Amino acid sequence: MLLALLLCYAGWAGLCLSMDRHFLHVSGRPASARHRLGLRLGGWLLLGASLWAALPGHALGVGLVQWSALLMFSALAWVLLLPYRPRLAVWVAGLGLLASPAVAMVSL
Amino acid sequence: MKEAFRQSMAWLHTWAGLIFGWLLFAIFLTGSLSYFRMEITQWMQPEARLEVVDAGTAIGLAQRYLEQQAPKAESWFITLPDARQPAIGIMWVNHDGFVLKRLDPRNGAELPVRDSRGGDFLYRFHFELQMPYPWGRWLASGAAMLMFVALISGIITHKKIFKDFFTFRPRKGQRSWLDGHNAVGVLVLPFHLMITYSSLVIFMSMVMPAGILAGYGDRPQGFFNEVLPVSDAPEAAGQPGTLAPFGPMLEQARQAWNGAEVGQVEVYHPGDRNASVSLLRRSSDGVIYDPGTGLLLQGSSGQVLSATTLGSWPMRIAGGFYGLHMGHFATPILRWLYFFCGLAGTAMIGSGLVIWLGKRQLKHAGTAVLPFELRLVEVLNIAGMAGLVVAVGGFFWANRLLPVALAGRAGWEVNAFFIAWALMLVHAVWRRGRRAWVEQLGLAALLFAGLPLLDALTTDGNPWRYLLRGDWLMLGFDLAFVGCAGLFAWAAWKVRRAGLPKDSTIARRERVRPARTGALEAEMN
Amino acid sequence: MKSAVGGISVAYRLAVTSRVLAAVFGGYLLASAASACLALLLPMTRADAVVSGLLLAFVVYLLAALWCFACRSAWRAWLGVLLPSLLLALVYALAKRMAQP
């Protein structure tokens, strides 16, 4: 579950930052078209990866429910953290992403 | 054309949300708590901190108890213990009612705990609303239908649902409330839609009899017999008979279901020659709540009379809705996630009510007196939300304070809940607006902060002892109480602050941080 | 000739009430009719058809409720729920007759 959570959170971060207003809020600079595309693509890929990480070890139904729950929880966590501590929110996403291969090896 | 549609949906959302808003808030809050109803029951009956025994032992104890105490009952119901509910649950039904008991799995005697409805009160309240059968369920179902309308109309109204997906702008008054309402609404939308539609599905045979009557005309019971075939037990013969031991019957079920465990045992006409035993699968095995998979055995011999499994897609879908709503299959982490999603729904409803009033209050900002309708909404908002939280605190306080030997103490705990709620209603009428909010939230904070202390004073447990024993349940409750107290205290502080004149609340640091933030915020808008 | 009560005309209040009644009661009627027809017409076992009809009834109820407030007048609201209900009742009667040889 931890791996799926980290990937979800990073995925939401990517999708969010691919939007002009949020990228600007976090970095102070507007996003280039390449940034936007990369972040959007990366975001979707990470969300997909989180599904792949959430399913093993459970019946399909249970795995899907867990994935949905993690998606909703991580989205809310990101959105509530972003306006107060934008840098921290992004750091958590980045660190989570870095940690995920290690988490994957331990849990899968 | 599209604008008119969106406007009509906005109007519908506003009013559908208001009509049963306070009822739905109460349903969502008690429903969220219900995901921990067995844990709450254990907390409310701390005398017995039990271990789980195996099914064979449990069923033997239950059978022995029932054969001694209720040999002539019409039916017996036995709920086998599991990690969340380690006591053995039994019930017997006579022509004049039913009796519920919980047995100690160590010896099969009645559990020596204080009489309390525990978490089951909150669970039943959330769909029966403390009203006589079946009116509470009808009201709850009506509220669910309105919730469904409010959700869909809200989605239609929310023009920038994708653009504003991640948008939350705090410290901007009404704008922030709306952003928050949208955030807990949209980001947790799959849960809200699931929980609302599934609540309609759960009572669908009660609220939509037309379908059943169409298919089964003059014999609607036929529908239930076909859908839950295991309940089609043989009639009583009118002659006495004996029951075979239940233990081997459990083993039969386990073999028939590839190792899956029995969750519930039902015995029809136990003292009769035609007694039958129905074994139902444990509901925590999978998402689909499956009352159709069962084994019906002859009571005297253990011979299989009929076996059914859930086959068809419509039944799977209905069972799936049921199971998703109840969340029996949830592991501890998922259970907490269910709880947080429920709280998000509660917050969505609550913020909606606050926004409804706030928008209209602005129009009356000059005058000191609100028109009656708005004053009514204000009182209901305060009593329905902060007051409800105080009532829950009162319920837990009553559980620890009422003498263990008091007759009818379970009923008195429930009374404490409603008395506290009623007092908060009176308080909300007496104290104007903001002060009532601050005082009730403050009271809630005090009540919840006091619970760990009260627990330590009235029972032989305290947080340190729980830690040493590894009693995560009791320790978890103490931590959760403190956390809730912190949340309510923070909320009370925020409400109080919002009422003070602007300058006195702006910290010096914020006043000196001008241009950059302003430019960024302008960009975001 | 409109009399105003607190700035809102009586005609408006009547129209809203009418739409609400159409949504609550008319919608329920339509959902029940749809449920009954599905129970008879779906090509499944009797129990499954009934369950499917029950499952879908609430979607019908929702659509009826949305219609009652989205349409242009209270009259249209009633028309929009009563006419389909009538049609479904006819379909139901026909299906019932055909099921009994």
* Cα–Cα distance, C45 to C51 (Å, whole number): 10
Residue with the bigger pLDDT between B512 and B256: it is B256
The gap between the terminal CA atoms of chain A, to the nearest Å, is: 10
Query: What integer pLDDT is reported at residue B235 of this predicted model?
Result: 82
B9/chain C closest Cα distance in angstroms: 7
Distance, CA of B450 to CA of B485 (rounded, Å) = 9
Identify the residue among A58, A62, A66, A107 best suited for mutation to test binding to B, counting B beta carbons within 10 A and taking the highest: A62
- The interface predicted TM-score (ipTM) is 0.96
* Residue B310, pLDDT score: 67
* Contact call for B211 and C47, based on CB within 8 A: no
For residue B56, which of B246, B243, B244 has the smallest C-alpha distance?
B246
Q: Which pLDDT tens digit goes with each residue over B37-58?
A: 999 999 999 987 788 888 889 9
pLDDT at B82 (0 to 100): 86
First and final C-alpha spacing in chain B? 27
For chain C, give me the number of helices (H) and strands (E)? 4, 2
pLDDT of residue B427: 97
- Using a 10 angstrom Cβ sphere, with 0-12 exposed, 13-18 middle and 19 or more buried, the burial of residue B424 is buried
Partner-chain contact B211 C35, CB within 8 Å: yes
Instruction: Say if residue B404's pLDDT is above 80.
Output: yes
Q: What is this structure's pTM?
A: 0.91
CA B317 to chain centre: 22
pLDDT above 90: residue B506: no
Q: Looking at chain B, which residue has its C-alpha nearest residue A75?
A: B187
Tokens of B421: 């709620």
Average pLDDT of A23-45?
92
- Is C84 part of the contact surface with chain B (CB cutoff 8 Å)? no
Yes or no: say if C25 and C84 are a contact pair by the CB < 8 Å rule.
no
State the nearest Cα–Cα gap between B224 and chain C, in angstroms. Answer: 9
User: Nearest-CA distance from A94 to chain B in Å?
Assistant: 18
pLDDT band for position B241 (cuts 50, 70, 90)? confident
| Distance between CA atoms of residues B261 and B216, nearest Å | 33
User: Are B170 and A80 in contact, with CB atoms under 8 Å apart?
Assistant: no
> What average pLDDT does this structure show over B420-442?
95
Chain B residues touching A19 at Cβ < 8 A: 163, 166
Cβ count near B4 (within 10 Å): 10
Would you state the pLDDT for residue B345? Answer: 98
**pLDDT of residue C52 exceeding 90:** yes
* pLDDT exceeds cutoff 60 at B395: yes
pLDDT band for position B507 (50/70/90)?
Answer: low
Q: How far is B330 from chain A (nearest CA, A)?
A: 8
Question: Of residues B511 and B155, which shows the higher confidence score?
Answer: B155
pLDDT digits (tens, 9 = 90+) for A66-95: 999 999 999 999 999 999 999 999 999 999
**Does the CB of B522 have a partner CB in chain A at under 8 Å?**
no
The pLDDT of B260-268, averaged and rounded, is 89
B288/A82 touch (CB, cutoff 8 Å), yes or no: no
- H/E segment holding residue B77: strand B75-79
Reported as a pLDDT band with limits 50, 70 and 90, residue C4 is: low
Residues 167-226 on B with a CB inside 8 Å of C are 197, 200-201, 204-205, 208, 210-216, 223, 226
- Please report which confidence band the pLDDT of residue B518 belongs to, taking 50, 70 and 90 as the band edges: very low
Q: DSSP letters along C28-63, please? A: HHHHHHHHHHHHHHSSS-HHHHHHHHHHHHHHHHHH
**Per the structure block, which two tokens stand in for C10?**
């009586």
